[in-house]
Amino acid sequence: MATYKCDKCGMAVNATCGHCDKPLVNGDLELPDGTSVQISECPDGHGKIKSPLCCGEDMTCSVG
């Protein structure tokens, strides 16, 4: 399961797809201006979300 953890305070969340209940996969989305945004997406293509924030920063992902 993909678990996102805040490096500052230790808060953690597990992220799964609401349609198929599969763990979301960590990824990057390149924006038109060339910058990259961390995302979480369903491995079966049901969609993607911006990765969670905590303490004003993206939470890091450990897939295992």
Q: Which of 57, 10, 60, 18 is nearest to 41 (CA)?
A: 18
Higher-scoring residue by pLDDT: 52, 2: 52
Alpha-carbon span 35 to 17, nearest angstrom = 26
Statement: residue 13 has pLDDT above 50: yes
For 27-62, write each residue's pLDDT tens digit: 889 999 999 988 889 999 999 998 888 999 888 776
Statement: residue 63 has pLDDT above 60: no
Q: What is the pLDDT of residue 64?
A: 46
Ramachandran category for residue 6: left, alpha or beta (phi over 0 → left; psi -120 to 50 → alpha):
beta
Q: What is the pLDDT of residue 35?
A: 94
Sign of CA dihedral 9, 10, 11, 14: positive
What DSSP line would sit under 30-57, residue for residue? E-TTS-EEEEEE-TTSS-EEEPPEETTE
Enter the pTM of the model. 0.72
Sequence spans of domains, the chain: 2-50
